[in-house]
Structure 1
Amino acid sequence: MTAPIPLRKFPSPRDKSAESDELYAARKKLHVRSVSGRFATWRWILVWFTQILYYGLPWLTWNDRQAVLFHLTERKFYIFGWVFWPQDVFYLAILLIISAFALFFFTAIAGRLWCGYACPQTVYTEIFMWIEEKIEGDHLKRKKLDSAPMGARKLAIRSAKYGAWILLSLWTGFTLVAYFTPLDELLQAAKMLSFGPWEMFWILFYGGFTYLFAGVMREQVCKYMCPYARFQSVMFDADTLVITYDQERGEPRGSRRKGVAPRASGLGDCVDCGICVQVCPTGIDIRQGLQYECIGCAACIDGCDQVMDRMGYPRGLIRYSTDNAIKQHWGRKEIVAHVLRPRTLIYSAVLASVCLALLWGLATRSDLRVDVIRDRATLAREVEGGLIENVYQLQIMNMLETPRVFDIAVSGLDGIRIDGIRQVRIAPASTESVTVHVRVPPESGAPGSHKIVFDVGMGGDPSVSVREDTTFHLPR
């Protein structure tokens, strides 16, 4: 007989003295210590690069218009010299594919590089924390201010901080809307405080969530809301570069005086100073191993390296490495050789191929498009002179920002010709619908449908020419 399964008696919710498990840990506010070093420098380089790009692009002009504008009203996307239409959604699909494979590629090589250096949550949290430090002081002063009772000084400091956060958040929301509504229109509306309902909604919506995520929630977004933290483990393996603590070198940890050799005191290199925890924006202890909360920002590496320098120990107690490299004591060459493994090589090959396909598509993209639509109301009719006429609608799209004149010709049947308009002028970056009457003698072919070809171009220039097939119907 099998042994009975023991039953655990759960405490009553009313029993406050009973021990119970919580679904979520209570949040402990973090007072993150600022740190400097090579990785902190790289983070700030990415902060400056991304924010100059984000805030600066709407102010650039190109051909007397905004250089980057996703004009939803006109259904046109302007990106410097390119004008994209709804028909160009194919390029958006390629961009999404590139983004997906770039995520797989960089995660397989070096873990959460995106999270640690370029994710908007990381970037704006870094900016908000910098503002907080400049106004309230370092982590110790902020902690002291939090525990102090509310008074005139605390109220003034907090008002200054929150005011700066609000201004930055609103400017961030305003900039987002400037990508979809021309900036000059937004500036005029800002002077009169007369934003449209959608503009006002998105400024407040995006600005509000910038304030909430970067100023209030911070690490909670990375720990509980971001899905990437949850599924990153399926893209990691033992040869993925991640932030690691060298336990063999660091343990047993313990404090000691400067200049004391660790082995002489029976200790490892870790002095148990806790700086790696104090500088972590998610509040984890990397010495406990890789955790899903780790965003790969390398702040703990910078903090630990500074301590190692002061103690006279070699750097790298916390470093970028792989699980296999730590276990097998590999050097840099062995690590690089295993990072460039079949998995990452396949990702890189696919990513390079898709990027080349996108570049080729943009380079060979025609600046003229023609769609031919038959008039279905009347398939064919007899007109003066006994000729047979079919009517077509030509949608001609001039994708350049200069006006152009296009010639229209037709071929495919004996004696075929266009009655009326044979040339059309299209305004810059515009579409024109042209009604074309095509006539043929009745003896041009047997009754039924026949293939004909419309040629639209500029003076026979083959580089600006489009051929579109359609059918001509001859009645019985």
Structure 2
Amino acid sequence: MNERIPVKDISPVKVHKPDAAKHENNYTPRSHIYVRAVKGSLETFRRFFGLIFLGTFAILPWLEFNGNQAILLDIEAQRFNIFGLTLWPQDLTLLAWILIISAFALFFVTTFAGRVWCGFMCPQTTWTFIYIWCEERIEGSRNKRIKLDQRKMDFDKFWRKSLKHVVWILIALLTALTFVGYFTPIERLFVDFFTFNVGFWAGLSVIFFTFCTYGNAGWMREIMCTHICPYARFQSAMFDKDTFTVAYDARRGEKRGPRSRKEQPEENAKKGLGDCIDCNLCVQVCPTGIDIRNGLQYECINCGACVDACNGVMDKMNYPKGLISFTSEHELAGGKTKIIRPKLIGYALVLAIMSGLLVFEIMTRVPLEIDIIRDRNSLYRETNDGLIENVYTLKLLNKSQTNREYKVEVIGLDGHKYIGDDKARVAGGEVFNLAISIAIDPYALKEQVTEFSFKVSAINSPEDIQRTESTKFIYQ
């Protein structure tokens, strides 16, 4: 009881905010954000990566595989075709594996490089930047857009605003048609939609996703990231002091202040000035409207726009780059970043194990499913020959995308008589109902309920495809 609890003295953090008197166009996150265009290596990479993402998204539903749409997630038919793989409700475990792997991949990337998913891969960010790019081409640069919104409505403002929204809606419509094309045959969808012959649910889905894309990327923008997306709220749980995030080097940048390009760093140091000239460009290029100089904030999506803007200013001032950069808390404190660390290794191991299990599940998956349905009208019946007969319906599901022929055998029921076809040809991705009867001499039955199995094997197939399912022969 006499031991004292050690107390750690923590100095309050001083938050530096730009001087509102020096910057006329200073907006809070809830105000309309006019994003300034920026050039740099990260912006070039983000656009290149976004182009690949958009191209993949737009091209995939148009590809064909074995004469069918390569990727078709047919919810109505409860069948997902992904190139040569067909998934049915019975394959729900595969979908679970994919979702688990995606989650741990996100955790791994976030632990290593922060919210790069949000900044470089998230559809909300990608489409928002597309809409901003269209806005710049039609209404002009950031300052021109601000002045345009402040003007009263005239012809110039009217046609620019109208054209912008028409372009936004067209992009949203094309996006919606492409997205819905993953769930319904895309060629027929495009033709039917523009000829007003589209089905109710497909048409409603296109209109709904058009509205969502237009609203999210055109109007809500950063609100989706700062108020709706749950990822921004729990991301900090995956961060540590070695996570790479966009950060401002306060030791080098403070104290902020404007200065002439001709002044040497030594002269600025005598005045107590750091490398930050307080130009506010890092705020103007931010799509969520935050000031990265105030420290790590949950609104930051790690897009790197402020990094490019600051590096451009540093070049003009003949200062070293990196005042704002992708760095870790340890590096900002003068230490070194530990790339290999327990948390990252743990996520990597779990990710590798889950990926291996998914591959194993796919490799060992039998593309055949059997469902045995007994005759519900009677448990058994006696034939004219005095035999006991049970009637069954075998539902054969060909889970592959190629036509196959199957042979049916009865195992574990000695002395039986097979009545009906013992072969069936099933088209790829289809279900075939095979009605058969099994008859047997009642003196050959030792019990009232005898368990046996149906074995179904593929004929003339390069793969060894077979499935055995047990059922019961009833006589009582």
Structure-2-length-normalised TM-score: 0.89
Q: Is the 8 A contact 1:410 1:417 kept in 2?
A: no
1:81 aligns with 2:87: no
SS in 2 for 1:385: coil
The answer to which of 207-216 and 180-189 deviates more is 180-189
Structure 2 counterpart of 1:193, from 191, 196, 200: 196
Q: Given that residues 258 and 311 in structure 1 are in contact (C-alpha distance below 8 angstroms), is that contact kept between their aligned partners in structure 2?
A: yes
SS at match of 2:180: helix
User: In the alignment, which residue of structure 2 is the partner of 1:324?
Assistant: 330
Answering whether residue 356 of structure 2 is matched by residue 356 of structure 1, we say: yes
Deviation at 1:249, TM superposition (A): 1.0
Identify which of 277, 283, 294 aligns with 1:277: 283
Instruction: Quote how far apart the aligned CAs of 1:137 are.
Output: 1.4
* Residue 15 of structure 1: aligned partner: none
Establish whether residue 305 from structure 1 lines up as the match of residue 311 from structure 2. yes
Alignment of 1:160-171 (within 5 A): 160-171=163-174
Dislocated runs of 4+, deviation >4 Å: none
Partner of 1:268: 274
The one-letter code sitting in structure 2 at the alignment partner of 1:232 is: Q
Q: Distance in 2 between matches of 1:102 and 1:144?
A: 44
Give the aligned partner of residue 241 of structure 1.
244
Change (3 A) 1:411 1:311: same
1:438 matched to 2:449 = no
> Deviation at 1:428?
2.7
Corresponding letter in the other structure for 2:166:
G
In 2: Cα distance, 1:339 partner to 1:321 partner: 12
Query: How far apart are residue 259 of structure 1 and its match?
Result: 4.6
**Offset of 1:116 from its aligned partner?**
0.6
Instruction: Give the conservation status (yes or no) of the 8 Å contact 2:250–2:293.
Output: yes
Instruction: Quote how far apart the aligned CAs of 1:205 are.
Output: 1.2
Give the distance between the partners of 2:49 and 2:195, measured in 1 at CA.
35
1:113–1:297 contact (8 Å) kept in structure 2: yes
CA 1:460–1:342 in 2, change beyond 3 Å: closer, same or farther? same
Cα shift at 1:442: 2.5
Tell which deviates more after alignment, 262-271 or 273-282: 262-271
Structure 2: which amino acid aligns with 1:247? Answer: A
Residue type of the alignment partner of 1:112 = R
Distance (whole Å) between structure 1 residues aligned to residue 465 and residue 109 of structure 2: 41
Deviation at 1:54, TM superposition (A): 1.6
Aligned to 1:182: 185
Residues 1:92 and 2:81 are matched in the alignment: no
Taking CA–CA contacts closer than 8 Å with sequence separation of 6 or more, which of the two structures ends up with the larger relative contact order? Answer: 2
Once residues 326 and 471 of structure 2 are traced to their aligned partners in structure 1, the CA distance between those partners, rounded to angstroms, is 61
What amino acid maps onto 2:33 in structure 1?
A: L
Residues paired across the two proteins, number: 445
Structure 1 portions without partners, runs of 5+: 1-24
Question: Is the 8 Å Cα contact of residues 241 and 339 (structure 1) preserved in structure 2?
Answer: no
Q: Partner of 2:39 in structure 1?
A: 36
Offset of 1:386 from its aligned partner?
A: 2.9
% identity of equivalent residues: 43
CA contact (8 A) 1:305 1:315 kept: yes
User: SS where residue 409 of structure 1 aligns?
Assistant: strand
Matched position secondary structure for 1:297:
coil
Q: CA deviation at 1:185?
A: 2.1
Deviation string 1:358-408 (CA, Å, 9 cap, x unpaired) is 122222222222122333543333324332222222110112333322111
Partner of 1:60: 63
1:70 aligns with 2:73: yes
Q: Distance in 1 between matches of 2:311 and 2:77?
A: 54
8 A Cα contact 2:455 2:466, kept in partner: yes
> SS state of the match for residue 52, structure 1?
helix
SS, match of residue 50 in structure 1:
helix
Which residue type is aligned with residue 426 of structure 2? I
SS at match of 1:439: strand
| Larger displacement relative to structure 2 (451-460 or 160-169) | 451-460
Post-superposition offset of 1:84: 1.7
Q: Within 2, Cα distance between the matches of 1:228 and 1:399?
A: 36
> Which range moves more in the overlay, 257-266 or 32-41?
257-266
The one-letter code of the counterpart of 2:473 is F
1:357-372 superposed matches below 5 A: 357-372=357-372
Per-residue CA shift, 1:96-133, capped at 9, x if unaligned?
Answer: 11122122211222211111111111000000001111
Q: Note the 1:106-117 alignment, pairs <5 A.
A: 106-117=109-120
- Residue deviations 1:183-242, cap 9 Å, x none? 232233134223322222221211111111111121122111111111222222222211
For residues 106-165 of structure 1, give each alpha carbon's deviation from its aligned partner in whole angstroms, at most 9, with x where no partner exists.
Answer: 122221111111111100000000111111111111112111221111111111111111
**1:456–1:244: structure 2 CA closer, same or farther, 3 Å change rule?**
same
User: 2: CA distance between counterparts of 1:184 and 1:89?
Assistant: 28
Alignment-mate amino acid for residue 308 of structure 2: D
2:153 is paired with a residue whose SS is: coil
CA contact (8 A) 2:177 2:190 kept: no
Report if aligned partners of 1:245, 1:318 keep a CA contact under 8 Å in 2. yes
AA partner of residue 424 (structure 1):
A
Report SS of the residue matched to 1:193.
Answer: coil
Residue 11 of structure 1 corresponds to which residue in structure 2?
none
Q: What letter corresponds to residue 299 of structure 1 in structure 2? A: A
Q: Give the conservation status (yes or no) of the 8 Å contact 1:259–1:312.
A: no
Q: Of 137, 149, 154, which aligns to 1:134?
A: 137
| CA displacement at 1:263 relative to structure 2 | 3.8
1: distance between equivalents of 2:119 and 2:349?
25
Q: Is the 8 A contact 1:276 1:299 kept in 2?
A: yes
Check conservation: 2:29, 2:288, Cα contact below 8 A. no
User: In 2, are the aligned partners of 1:412 and 1:451 still within 8 Å (CA)?
Assistant: yes
Of residues 45, 48, 58 in structure 2, which corresponds to 1:45?
48
CA distance in 1, matches of 2:146, 2:71: 43
Partners of 1:70 and 1:412 in 2: how far apart?
A: 40
